[in-house]
């Protein structure tokens, strides 16, 4: 089985735990690759800026489910604080 390469965000690279989760489902990979680099960056940042490991795990699970239902950005989040305006 070939593991698909994942595109990165504008500022952030996909962390290993998120990468593994995304690569576990071909449909999720297709939706991830359909996002803009800025949208991918928002999902990555939303995942890595959590304080608790259990919250990060929850965010990773939500990335998968929300991509599958067609969401393109994290809902109700101010956006990546690391990106220059």
Asked if residue 76 is part of any domain, the answer here is no
Asked if residue 53 is part of any domain, the answer here is yes
SS3 2: coil
Asked if residue 61 is part of any domain, the answer here is yes
Q: What is the pTM of this model?
A: 0.89
Query: 21-76 pLDDT, tens per residue?
Result: 999 999 999 999 999 999 999 999 999 999 999 999 999 999 999 999 999 999 77
Asked if residue 27 is part of any domain, the answer here is yes
Quote the number of domains for the chain.
1
Domain assignment of residue 41, given as a range: 16-68
Asked if residue 37 is part of any domain, the answer here is yes
Instruction: Determine the Cα–Cα distance for residues 69 and 32; give it in Å rounded to an integer.
Output: 12
Asked if residue 77 is part of any domain, the answer here is no
Asked if residue 4 is part of any domain, the answer here is no
Please indicate whether residue 82 or residue 53 has the higher confidence score (pLDDT).
53
């Amino acid at each position: 089985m070939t593991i698909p390469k994942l595109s990165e965000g504008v500022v952030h690279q996909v962390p290993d735990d998120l990468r593994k989760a995304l690569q576990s489902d071909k449909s999720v990979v297709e939706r991830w690759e359909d996002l803009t680099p800025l949208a991918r960056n928002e999902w990555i940042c939303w995942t890595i800026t959590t304080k608790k490991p259990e919250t990060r795990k929850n965010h990773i699970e939500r990335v998968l489910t929300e991509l599958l239902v067609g969401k393109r950005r994290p809902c109700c989040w101010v956006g990546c604080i690391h990106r220059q305006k």
